[in-house]
Structure 1
Amino acid sequence: MKRRTIETIAYGQPMDMGGFPIRQALPSSKADMLDPFLLLHHANIKVAENVDVKNAGVGPHPHRGFSPVTFIFKGGVHHRDSRGNSHIVYEGGTQWMNAGMGVIHSERPPEDIHALGGTQELIQLWINTPAANKMDAPAYIPVTKEDTPVVNDEDGLTNIQVVAGELNGVKGSIVPQTPINMFTIRMKKGGTYFIPFAASHNAFIYALEGTVLINEKEELPAFYMASFNKDGEGVQITAAADSILLMGTGEPLNEPVVSHGPFVMNNQTQLLEAFRDYQMGKMGVLIEE
């Protein structure tokens, strides 16, 4: 299979997001979006010991029209929402939510976060929803590390969690609304692996730790995201150091995107309707307990 070449490499710019230090690799100065991927935030937060976890993290806020997906690399996240879901997912797990017509949720540290080391490291990725499904009923899909299928290389140097989609015949636990592959990849120095995917997909790799070589020549260090040209059917990844990566590939929707804050729709009227419906209580009420 022909290897894809890199189109851009973007740095995850440090920024403040409502009082939380995060890195934003998408959107960047090099790309507004990578259809269907809209936003990538990488957070590595130390939870203060003197703060009640019920007041830590991110409080209730609404979403409509896309899937906010949280990949948990350290600690855990307690998700609560206006549909009655209350669930904790720990390190190695994923919280996938299709916001659909609208939902209010919060993302707090779990009660035992300090027993786990007091650190939350996670990536939140926003994935666009097709126009035909933006007003579907919301769905919350928690998947633990134990319930996430894994692909291991024969040399033991590469471990790949198949969160969604498929890799070499192994299918993820989560079935997205459109053709998407999501992998969390852990590689020891010297490990190498070729990841195939559809020629029509857009694709990215974000490095949380370490440094990898793409196609054995271009370096991708920690906190950088590579996106790829549509000129092949896969990517060769080689670890120059022990590394942790998030990789996504997806079929572009090729639909108009109009977004503001927590809502992603197809036109300005729909966006105004989202704000109106939220203010009228149509996305429900979240009372945290």
Structure 2
Amino acid sequence: MKKATSFSTKGSSTSVGPLKIQRMLPNRYAGQVGPFVFLDYVAPAIKNEITKKGMGAHPHRGIATLTYILQGEVEHFDSAGNGGKIFSGGAQWMKAGNGIIHDENFNYDSQTDSKYIQGFQFWINLPAKNKAEKPEHIAIQANEIPQIALEDESGWLKIIVGNYEGLSSKIPNYAEQFLYHVQLKAGKQFLLEIADKIEVAAFLPTAGAQLNNAEFQKGEFIEFDKNAGEIELRNTFGQPIDIILFGGEAYTEPIVAEGPFVMNTKEEIIGAYHDFYAGKYGEINLTA
């Protein structure tokens, strides 16, 4: 049985430095999809619009951030002394844990001289027991991301987060979660089985697609119901298309979000701000 669509939206537009952002989550219909509480889509920008000054250092607590770059490169800096640079097709995961300050510098891909930058930033909510842990950082290049060929030469599926058919991402799982990048060739389809009570959404960054016999446009975010069922992706476009699928088990603990912090109580939010202003998150040292 095919899963029903709960809603679709094109989110809201904003800017972060020189980048044009489409904020897909949270939206007017939903605050989270499984453990995912935030999604910004970085629309394609040409290289002469990008600076090398970073996006602005800022704190986080209680979440893990995940940057997945389709085109371009992203360099990471944080107050725990971590650093790393990923290129087109790579991902960076940072567990903010009990508090960290970080910055990211988006630029064109120096390895390929690509003229564009395009990608995503997700926030993954941590269980309460993991919010007090020390920060961590993982940089994963494109060739380290598990990829599987789809049947009937239909395309491929990359496992950015979670597991699929025996393959696993390097990104830690604190609950059942997944983030897949599917590319479908023209005229092809792919069927994904979703278990009961698993929340799942799709995003169409490059072209429209048919999801469970309904047509959706480029730039749409689609969430499905929580019943067990199938999601059929069909490419009715004349060229290969990309589809982002993500979600997981529902986050059942209380969620209190304010600014860059996602905690379980208002008191914990107050504590997060207090510790930040007290300098307990440290500072980024670019000379180290």
TM-score computed with the length of structure 2 as normaliser:
0.92
Q: Is the 8 A contact 2:72 2:114 kept in 1?
A: yes
Instruction: For residue 87 of structure 1, give the secondary structure of its aligned residue in structure 2.
Output: strand
Which residue in 2 is equivalent to 1:66? 63
Which residue in 1 is equivalent to 2:270? 272
Aligned length: 285
Q: Is the 8 A contact 1:44 1:119 kept in 2?
A: no
Amino acid at match of 1:44: A
CA distance in 2, matches of 1:206, 1:51: 24
Instruction: For residue 276 of structure 1, give the secondary structure of its aligned residue in structure 2.
Output: helix
Instruction: For residue 129 of structure 2, give the secondary structure of its aligned residue in structure 1.
Output: helix
Which residue in 2 is equivalent to 1:228? 224
Amino acid at match of 1:170: L
Identity %: 27
| Aligned pairs for 1:210-221 within 5 A | 210-215=207-212, 217-221=213-217
1:189 Cα deviation after fit: 1.5
Q: Is the 8 A contact 1:197 1:249 kept in 2?
A: no
Amino acid at match of 2:124: I
| Aligned pairs for 1:276-287 within 5 A | 276-287=274-285
Gaps of 5+ in 2: none
Instruction: For residue 270 of structure 1, give the secondary structure of its aligned residue in structure 2.
Output: helix
CA distance in 2, matches of 1:50, 1:285: 28
Q: Is the 8 A contact 1:263 1:271 kept in 2?
A: yes
| 1:106-153 superposed Cα distances (whole Å, 9 cap, x missing partner) | 100358649623422111111111111111111111111101111111
CA distance in 2, matches of 1:26, 1:51: 24
| 1:43-69 superposed Cα distances (whole Å, 9 cap, x missing partner) | 12536549751x1x4121110001111
Which residue in 1 is equivalent to 2:87? 90
Which residue in 2 is equivalent to 1:200? 197
Instruction: For residue 20 of structure 2, give the secondary structure of its aligned residue in structure 1.
Output: strand
The 1:280/1:203 distance shift into structure 2, 3 A limit, reads same
Which residue in 2 is equivalent to 1:246? 244
Amino acid at match of 1:10: T
CA distance in 1, matches of 2:76, 2:16: 19
Does 2:183 correspond to 1:186? yes
Instruction: For residue 199 of structure 1, give the secondary structure of its aligned residue in structure 2.
Output: coil
Gaps of 5+ in 1: none
CA distance in 2, matches of 1:131, 1:273: 14
Instruction: For residue 132 of structure 1, give the secondary structure of its aligned residue in structure 2.
Output: helix
Root-mean-square deviation (CA), in Å?
2.0
1:171 Cα deviation after fit: 2.2
Amino acid at match of 2:120: I
Which residue in 2 is equivalent to 1:258? 256
- Match 2:159 to one of 125, 145, 162: 162
CA distance in 2, matches of 1:109, 1:73: 12
Does 2:22 correspond to 1:14? no
Moved more, 15-24 or 193-202: 15-24
